[in-house]
Amino acid sequence: MLIDAFPAGPLAANCYVAAPAPGAGCVVVDPGQSAAADLDRVLAEHRLTPEGVLLTHGHFDHVWSAAETADRFGVPAYVHPADRALLTDPARGLDPVLATQLSGLLGGAEPAEPRDLRELDGTPLHLAGMEIGVEHAPGHTPGSVVFVLGGEDGPEALFTGDLLFAGSIGRTDFPGGDHGEILHSLERVCLSRPDATAVLPGHGPRTTVGRERAANPFLRDIPAR
């Protein structure tokens, strides 16, 4: 499995590219602001061809280049229906202060849906020769999901978006956030997995379920497994 990543935009949202091997099809996870140049670099370096765009949730720093990316390569994009409206109305998912700053952050560009936008329903996706699990994990947003790769010959890799970070968890003070719900999602989707499970978060460095189970102070309210 090949997984490369780079931080995109002023909020440094991690954009991931995942493929079974170099020279193959791939998926792009969370192409945020100004992602095109770094994405093209990664694709050229590994000789990859996008076959889909996966969105962990609808916040603008993770999805701003989704339409550009999906439409440029002629591939579908996937989002949970509960977050679909955020693609064209990003302010509805932000607190009032950040919402008023949004036009400045986005440089006056108009938000848009990808031409081929498909809603996730929990059914695994089959893209680029990979089976990709889809776990609904609300709490940060109502439509947050975790994408799951691997697990047959080695540890799984979880693309957690803003659910789980190294040393932290997602905010729940934005509209649609729910602290109790995110704790339940963390228990069900992340802490139920083996310690060796890789966590590829929406911001910051990679980590593992075991490392977060042992040291993440925000997981103390969740029963140990």
Q: For residues 125 and 148, what is the distance between their CA atoms, to the nearest angstrom?
A: 10
The DSSP symbol for 80 reads: -
Consecutive 10-residue runs of the chain (225 residues): their mean pLDDT? 96 97 98 97 98 97 97 98 96 82 73 96 97 98 97 86 98 96 97 97 98 95 66
The per-residue pLDDT for 138 is: 98
> CB-hemisphere CA count at 13 Å for 105?
21
> How far is residue 73 from each of residues 27, 130, 205, measured CA to CA in Å?
11, 19, 28
Q: Look up the pTM and report it.
A: 0.95
Q: For residues 88 and 110, what is the distance between their CA atoms, to the nearest angstrom?
A: 8
Strands 164-165 and 156-161: unpaired
The per-residue pLDDT for 110 is: 82
Residue 81 gets the label, from left (phi > 0), alpha (psi -120 to 50) or beta, of alpha
The per-residue pLDDT for 224 is: 58
